[in-house]
C-alpha cells in the first residue's frame, strides 16, 4: 500500500478543511479560539512549491525583489519591504508584477516585522477598477497595533468581516508570520510568532464576492514607518485562468493550472511526500551541522552511514525545530517522520553484519539486539559447536523468503525420545527485541551448561526442548532496517502491490486457528492495516503454519512465547468467553513461575494474569486447546532498552520463569504415562483426568508416535486417569499424586474392540 500518497495531500487538505469548517455552521463568520495544540497548526514551509513574491524564506538565500506596481514610496533594501512616506489620504500600495501573485485558492504566507506600531494590510484577491490604484476591491488581513482584522474592500470602501482578534504585546515579537488560507468562499488567517511559531490568533470569514485576484501590501495612515514585510510567498491551488481545460492526474480531476505553475496539492510519489506526525528525523551532511542554530544543533542524535555509504548527521526534531532548520537554507539530505531501529541504536549498527564473537564455550550474545541474520548465525554457530545435543531444522520460510529456524536441544537430538517436548519461542512480534534475547539466553544456558550444571543437565537429559528465537524475521527486518512504524506484524503484502509497507502484515499472534476471529473486532481486526490484523484465514501465514506443523508432529507439554512489555505471564484462554479447565493447572503454574522470578529492572515483579485482555487467534490458546499444553505468553519488562545493562538484568531476572516451567514438566505435580495396546504398540487415545473438568470441548490425546501423555496438575490428590479409543471400552487407573510426577501405564486391549483400532 502506498500510504505516503494519501498522506501527502491529506495534511494540507485537512488543514484547509478544518479551518473552512469552522465557519460552516454559523453562516457568515465567526472567530475561532486558538486550538489546544497550537503548534500542530503551523503549516510547514515548502521550498519546492511555495513561490516567493518578495523577500527570502531561507536566511541564506538572496532576497527576491520583484518589479512592482506601487503607490507611495517603498524601500526594498536588505529584503525589507517598507513604506517610508505615508501621505494623508494616499495609503501606500504595493503589488508584485508576477503572474504567480494572481491567485484564486491557496496558501499565502507573509512575515512581518511589526515595529512598534504596525499598521499594515495583506491584500488578497484584489481587483483594480480599470487598473487604477484607488478604488480597489478584494480582501485584506490587517495588523493594526495589537489587533488582527479581516476586511472586504469594495471600490475603495472598507467593511470589516467579523470581530477582530487581539495579538497581545505585538511589538515584542521580532517577527510575525501570518498564514492565510483561501478556499472558495472560506478565508482563514492564522498569526504565529515568527521565531517560535507559537500560535497567536485565528480569523475566519466566509464571503463569496471575490473569487480571485491579486496579492499585495498596503500600509495604513497610522504607521510609524517602522513596519516591514520580510517575506511574501504563495502556494496556489488552481489559479484557473479561462481557456484551459481540466486534467486528470493520479486519478483525480483537477482545475486547470496556468502554464509553468507547479501542480500544488497533488498526490505526490512517496519519496516526495511530507512526513506525518509531530516529529522529524533529518539527515544532513555532517559539516552542515555547525551552520545550524544551537538549539537545533543540539538535537543531533547520531552520525550514521545510510545506503549512500557516506556518513550523515541524524537530528531528531520537533516540527517547529525542523521549520527553523529549513529557514536556514542548510541543505537536507532526507527527512522522515520515523526511522528504523538501526539509525537509533549504535550497538546494533556496530554488530550487524559481524559474525558472532566466539567464547570458550559458545558465543557472546549480550553485545546488542539482533536482526534475523544475527540470530541465524548464532543458532547455526551453536548447532555446530554442540552437534551431539542439538539438531537444526528449517521449519518454514517467511513471506519474504527468510528461513524459520528451530533448534532442538536434547540428549539424543536425532531421536524422538520418550520425553516431554517443550517449545521456547520469541518474536511473533518482530518489533519486540528483548524477547529474542530471552530465548537466546535459554538456548545458550542449555547448551553451554550441559554436563557442567546439574540442573541444566537434568533438563537436557529428560526433555526435548525446541528453541525458535525468531518466529517473525520479516517483521524484525522491517523494524530494524526500514521503519519503526512497522515490524509487529509479518511480511504479508496486504494489498498485493508488490511491496510490504510498514502498516501491512498479519499479527501472527492473532492468526492461530483456535478462536480465530472469535468475538469479531474485539480480540483481533479484519482490516489489513490494523496492528491486530488476524489475516485472511486461520493459519494463513507461513510462520503460523510452521509452528502449527511442528506442534502437530510433537505435541508440546509446555510452551513459552516471549513478548514484551507487561511484566506479566498470561495463561490461556485469552480468547473471549472460553472457559478454562477446572481446576486450572495453567494458572497455578503461571503463579509458580511469577513467584520464582525476582524483581525485573523496571522495579516490578512478574504477575500472573489470566484473562488479561481479549485476544483471539493467539498461539497459546491454540497449543492449550489442541494439545493441553501449559502455554504461556511471557511479557518482559522493557521495549528494546537502549541501555544493554537493562537487557542483561532483564534476561537474568527472567531466567527463573522458564527454569520453573522446565522443572514443572520434568518432575512437578502431575501425571505422565503411556497408552498402548495389548501387544505394546502405542495408541493415540483420548486421555482424560476425570477430576479435571474440561469446558471448551478439548480433546487431549496421547502422542501418536509413542503413546505418551504429560499432564500437569494444580494440586495433589487422588485422580482417575481414563484412556479411550473409538470402538473399545475405556480403561482407567486411579493414582495418588503427592508432590511430584506420577507415571501410569494404560493398556487398551484392542483384540475385543468393535472396530479395529487405527
Ligand atoms: Zn508481542
Distance 698 CA to ligand 1 centre (A): 26
| Average pLDDT score over residue span 126-141 | 82
CB atoms within 10 A of CB 271: 7
Position 498 pLDDT exceeds 60: yes
Known catalytic membership, residue 635: yes
Looking at domain 670-752, what is its CATH homologous superfamily? Answer: Carboxypeptidase-like, regulatory domain (2.60.40.1120)
Q: What's the Cα-to-Cα distance from 372 to each of 341, 427, 472, 486, 613, rounded to whole Å?
A: 14, 10, 9, 15, 29
**Residue corresponding to grid cell 559474525:** 355
Beta carbons of 221 and 119 less than 8 angstroms apart:
yes
Question: pLDDT tens for residues 381-421?
Answer: 999 999 999 999 999 999 999 999 999 999 999 999 999 99
Fold of 275-339: Alpha-Beta Plaits (3.30.70)
Report the pLDDT value the prediction gives residue 253, as an integer from 0 to 100. 43
| Average pLDDT score over residue span 108-121 | 94
Distance 684 CA to ligand 1 centre (A): 34
Distance 616 CA to ligand 1 centre (A): 14
Q: What residues does 69 pair with on adjacent strands? A: 95
What are the residue ranges spanned by the domains of the chain?
A: 3-237, 275-339, 350-663, 670-752
| DSSP one-letter code for 479 | I
| Between 241 and 547, the higher pLDDT residue | 547
Dihedral sign computed on CA atoms, order 541, 547, 550, 554: negative
Query: What gap in Å lies between CA 512 and CA 547, rounded to an integer?
Result: 10
Q: What's the Cα-to-Cα distance from 448 to each of 440, 468, 560, 651, rounded to whole Å?
A: 12, 18, 21, 16
Q: Residue 633 corresponds to which cell in the numbers above?
A: 505468553
Looking at domain 3-237, what is its CATH homologous superfamily? Answer: Exo-inulinase; domain 1 (2.60.120.560)
Question: pLDDT tens for residues 7-23?
Answer: 333 344 444 444 433 33
Q: What's the Cα-to-Cα distance from 552 to each of 84, 363, 432, rounded to whole Å?
A: 88, 32, 26
Report the pLDDT value the prediction gives residue 244, as an integer from 0 to 100. 46
| Between 606 and 91, the higher pLDDT residue | 606
Report the pLDDT value the prediction gives residue 644, as an integer from 0 to 100. 96
DSSP string, 207-254: --S--SEEEEEEE-TT--S--EEEEEEEEEE----TT---EEETTEEE
Distance 89 CA to ligand 1 centre (A): 72
Distance 469 CA to ligand 1 centre (A): 13
Instruction: Report the SS3 class of residue 621.
Output: helix
- Per-residue pLDDT band at 76 (split at 50, 70, 90): very high
What is the total residue count of the chain? 758
Distance 492 CA to ligand 1 centre (A): 17
Distance 476 CA to ligand 1 centre (A): 12
Query: What gap in Å lies between CA 594 and CA 596, rounded to an integer?
Result: 5
Report the pLDDT value the prediction gives residue 241, as an integer from 0 to 100. 42
| Average pLDDT score over residue span 291-312 | 90
Distance 170 CA to ligand 1 centre (A): 52
Domain 350-663 has CATH 3.40.630.10: yes
Query: What gap in Å lies between CA 367 and CA 347, rounded to an integer?
Result: 7
Distance 663 CA to ligand 1 centre (A): 25
**Residue corresponding to grid cell 511555495:** 50
Distance 429 CA to ligand 1 centre (A): 5
Q: Which of 544-553, 635-644, 745-754 has the lowest mean pLDDT?
A: 745-754
Q: Buried b vs exposed e over 658-689: b needs ≥16 C-beta within 10 Å?
A: bbbbbbbbbebbbbbbbbbbeeeebbbbbbbb
Distance 316 CA to ligand 1 centre (A): 27
Distance 620 CA to ligand 1 centre (A): 12
Position 34 pLDDT exceeds 70: no
Q: Active site residue: 635, 659, 691, 724, which one?
A: 635
Distance 590 CA to ligand 1 centre (A): 18
Distance 654 CA to ligand 1 centre (A): 16
pTM of the model: 0.80
Q: Residue 476 corresponds to which cell in the numbers above?
A: 524484525
The continuous run of DSSP H or E covering 474 comes out as helix 473-477
Amino acid at each position: 500500500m502506498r500510504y505516503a500518497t494519501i498522506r501527502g495531500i491529506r495534511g494540507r487538505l485537512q488543514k484547509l478543511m478544518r479551518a473552512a469548517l469552522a465557519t460552516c455552521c454559523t453562516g457568515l463568520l465567526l472567530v475561532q479560539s486558538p486550538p489546544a495544540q497550537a503548534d500542530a497548526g503551523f503549516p510547514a514551509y515548502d521550498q519546492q512549491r511555495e513561490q516567493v513574491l518578495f523577500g527570502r524564506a531561507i536566511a541564506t538565500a538572496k532576497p527576491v525583489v520583484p518589479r512592482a506596481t506601487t503607490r507611495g514610496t517603498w524601500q526594498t533594501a536588505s529584503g525589507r519591504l517598507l513604506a517610508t512616506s505615508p501621505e494623508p489620504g494616499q495609503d501606500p500600495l504595493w503589488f508584485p508584477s508576477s503572474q504567480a501573485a494572481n491567485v484564486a485558492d491557496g496558501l499565502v504566507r507573509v512575515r512581518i516585522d511589526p515595529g512598534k506600531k504596525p499598521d499594515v494590510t495583506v491584500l488578497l484577491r484584489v481587483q483594480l477598477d480599470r487598473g487604477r490604484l484607488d478604488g480597489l476591491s478584494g480582501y485584506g488581513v490587517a495588523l493594526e497595533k495589537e489587533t488582527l482584522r479581516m476586511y472586504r474592500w469594495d471600490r475603495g470602501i472598507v467593511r470589516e468581516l467579523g470581530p477582530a482578534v487581539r495579538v497581545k504585546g505585538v511589538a515584542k515579537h521580532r517577527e510575525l508570520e501570518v498564514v492565510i488560507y483561501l478556499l472558495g468562499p472560506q478565508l482563514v488567517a492564522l498569526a504565529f510568532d515568527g521565531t517560535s511559531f507559537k500560535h497567536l490568533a485565528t480569523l475566519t470569514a466566509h464571503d463569496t464576492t471575490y473569487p480571485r485576484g491579486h496579492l499585495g501590501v498596503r500600509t495604513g495612515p497610522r504607521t510609524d514607518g517602522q513596519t516591514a514585510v520580510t517575506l511574501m510567498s504563495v502556494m496556489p491551488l488552481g489559479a484557473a485562468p479561462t481557456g484551459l481545460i481540466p486534467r486528470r492526474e493520479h486519478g483525480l480531476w483537477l482545475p486547470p493550472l496556468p502554464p509553468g505553475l507547479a501542480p500544488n496539492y497533488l498526490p505526490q510519489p512517496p519519496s516526495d511526500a511530507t512526513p506525518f506526525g509531530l516529529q522529524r528525523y533529518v539527515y544532513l551532511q555532517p559539516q552542515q551541522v555547525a551552520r545550524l542554530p544551537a538549539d537545533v544543533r543540539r538535537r543531533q542524535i547520531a552520525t550514521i552511514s545510510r545506503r549512500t555509504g557516506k556518513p550523515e548527521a541524524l537530528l531528531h526534531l520537533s516540527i517547529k525545530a525542523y521549520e527553523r532548520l529549513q529557514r536556514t537554507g542548510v541543505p537536507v539530505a532526507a527527512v522522515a517522520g520515523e526511522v528504523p531501529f538501526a539509525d537509533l541504536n549504535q550497538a546494533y549498527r556496530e554488530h550487524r553484519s559481524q559474525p558472532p564473537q566466539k567464547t570458550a564455550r559458545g558465543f557472546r550474545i549480550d553485545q546488542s539486539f539482533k536482526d534475523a541474520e544475527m540470530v541465524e548465525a548464532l543458532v547455526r554457530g551453536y548447532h555446530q559447536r554442540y552437534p551431539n545435543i542439538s539438531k537444526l531444522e528449517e521449519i518454514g520460510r517467511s513471506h519474504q523468503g527468510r528461513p524459520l529456524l528451530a533448534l532442538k536441544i536434547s540428549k539424543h537430538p536425532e531421536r524422538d525420545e520418550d520425553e516431554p517436548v517443550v517449545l521456547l519461542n520469541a518474536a511473533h512480534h518482530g518489533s519486540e527485541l528483548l524477547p529474542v534475547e530471552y530465548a537466546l539466553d535459554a538456548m545458550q544456558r542449555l547448551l553451554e551448561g550441559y554436563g557442567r550444571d546439574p540442573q541444566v543437565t537434568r533438563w537436557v537429559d529428560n526433555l526435548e526442548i525446541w528453541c525458535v528465537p525468531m518466529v517473525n524475521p520479516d517483521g524484525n527486518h522491517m523494524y530494524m532496517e526500514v521503519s519503526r512504524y512497522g515490524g509487529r506484524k509479518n511480511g504479508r503484502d496486504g494489498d498485493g502491490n508488490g511491496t510490504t509497507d510498514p502498516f501491512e502484515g498479519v499479527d501472527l499472534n492473532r492468526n492461530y486457528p483456535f478462536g480465530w476471529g472469535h468475538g469479531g473486532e474485539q480480540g483481533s481486526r479484519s482490516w489489513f492495516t490494523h496492528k491486530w490484523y488476524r489475516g485472511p484465514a486461520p493459519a494463513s501465514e507461513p510462520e503460523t503454519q510452521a509452528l502449527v506443523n511442528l506442534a502437530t508432529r510433537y505435541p508440546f507439554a509446555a510452551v513459552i512465547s516471549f513478548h514484551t512489555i507487561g511484566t506479566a505471564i498470561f495463561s490461556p484462554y485469552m480468547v473471549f468467553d472460553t472457559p478454562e479447565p477446572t481446576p486450572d493447572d495453567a494458572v497455578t503454574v503461571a503463579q509458580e513461575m511469577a513467584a520464582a522470578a525476582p524483581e525485573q529492572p523496571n522495579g516490578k515483579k512478574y504477575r500472573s494474569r489470566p484473562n488479561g485482555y481479549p485476544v483471539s487467534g493467539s498461539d497459546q490458546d491454540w497449543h492449550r486447546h489442541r494439545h493441553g499444553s501449559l502455554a504461556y505468553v511471557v511479557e518482559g519488562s522493557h521495549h528494546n532498552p537502549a541501555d544493554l545493562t537493562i537487557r542483561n538484568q532483564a534476561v537474568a531476572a527472567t531466567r527463573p520463569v522458564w527454569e520453573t516451567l522446565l522443572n514443572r514438566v520434568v518432575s512437578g505435580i502431575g501425571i505422565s504415562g503411556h497408552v498402548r495396546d495389548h501387544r505394546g504398540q502405542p495408541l493415540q487415545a483420548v486421555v482424560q483426568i476425570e477430576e479435571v473438568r474440561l469446558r471448551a470441548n478439548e480433546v487431549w490425546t496421547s502422542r501418536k508416535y509413542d503413546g505418551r501423555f504429560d499432564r500437569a496438575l494444580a494440586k495433589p490428590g487422588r485422580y482417575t486417569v481414563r484412556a479411550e479409543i473409538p470402538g473399545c471400552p475405556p480403561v482407567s487407573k486411579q493414582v495418588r499424586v503427592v508432590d511430584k510426577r506420577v507415571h501410569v501405564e494404560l493398556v487398551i486391549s484392542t483384540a475385543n474392540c468393535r472396530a479395529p483400532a487405527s
